Structure 1
Amino acid sequence: MDGLLPIGAFSRATLISANTLRAYHESGLLEPAVVDPRTGYRGYRVAQFGDAAVIRHLRELDVPLAAIREILAARDPEVTRRLLAEHRDRTLERAAHLERVLRTTGELLDAPEMVTPAAVIERVLPPVRAFTITREVAEDDFAGFLGEAFRQLTAVAAVGPPGAVFPAEYRDEPVPVTAYMPADDGPTLLPGGRFAVFEFTGPYREMTTGYRSLGAWLAGTGMAIAGPVRESYLIGPGDGVPEDRYRTDICWPLHLTEK
């Protein structure tokens, strides 16, 4: 294979392991110039050093393989800038999420009482008539869906406060989420009954503390979640207050478990 480097030498020259080069070949990201059909022996050209360097540097930045493949295929600075900007935005979102995780973890370590059942109240809530919009939604899209749904529902009925209904069991995949706006002539009847209620104050992204309190309260009570849970947004984005003053009732319907 004149003018070619075997995979070992190409690996040393590019500082990319042979195993990784084989994976890049299988995924179509960086294919050898020649593959011997009899032995499977891979040969690379010196001209491929450039692509290898681009791949190595972008992988050090955790750029996804699909984006790198698009960059190499386009060989267009505008495409590269666009894809790197998208990757930067995703990285900033992950960094913000990690910061919230670290902050919450620190708070739990400093104050374990945050997961105690304080402030959970049992209430009998009446049925609620409402206009509703239901859609299959992934968790990352909850806020976008609810914001748009509430804008549509407000045009029909603005009795409030608005709310949302979620499945009793948390799932990773998209789930049916119902946005609702109470109204005396609403076509949907949300059932009443016995609920455990936690009134959470603060930004929606920190509302997991309310769910933890409800879970801690529920443990050992002899009760279980009877159906879909509700969030009632008493004070929120349309009320002209900062996020730390948002108020949300998290409501879990209850029933006694059989012993």
Structure 2
Amino acid sequence: MCEIFCFNSNMPKKLNSCLECFYNHSENHPHGWGLANMQSDEFVIDKEPVKATCSQYLKDILSNPVVGKNVFAHIRLATVGEIISPNCHPFIEMDGNNRSWMLIHNGTIFDYPILEKYKDKENGDTDSERILLYIIDKVNEFEQAKGAPSTIKERFNLLTEIVNDLSRSNKLNLMIYDGEVTYIHSNMKESLYYLKNENEFLVATTPLDNNENWLQVELNKLFVLDDGNILYESSEHDNEFILTEEHERIMEEFLKNIDGE
């Protein structure tokens, strides 16, 4: 699958050392990399369908300070979709009220037929991009019915419902940014960790250093992070994802097809 990274803080911070450690994991996740730095409502996004450690483009980026308070990164091990730039995370999409959303995903959608209708609308061919398009449709439906833009609390409630439903039978480790706040969700044990310091969160698929304060993200809950603190936390759902031999067979078959191309 993939690895994901998020930094959320009330103050900008230089993150080069954390990002370099994260991208060094790409030996096992060679199908692309992405970096998103949210600066004053502007989404600065770079991505490439190249192994991160082999990317001169990424080396050039990291040779300069990467400073931000909302920063996201992704390295891809493909389970759905070709090895092309449109399939690299992060994905971005604008809702009906001109709010830009960003999503990165570590997981696979094995069973959620509703997403099939987005195959003709997405730029690439990943299940992850379909998740974002589905979320945008749900947000638009809610705001059209309300007749006004949604509040953060309303979007949190809506995403809680969506995530609770999507997580049935699917691995759904998500990081989402809606232009104001960050949403974090994990439903598989030992697949997402966080390090909390004063007014900042660092979240990653695996701990990025030997700091003993890294903890596993609590499973089956949706968290909203804002300025380095938890703003909202959902109740716990029952959809923990447990990897089976059948899941592994499906993913191995896909990787064999990629290697054979």
Query: TM-score scaled to structure 2, two decimals?
Result: 0.23
Higher relative contact order (CA 8 A, sep 6+): 2
Larger Rg: 1
Structure having the larger proportion of residues in helix? 1
**Which has the larger share of strand?**
2
TM-score, reference length from structure 1: 0.23
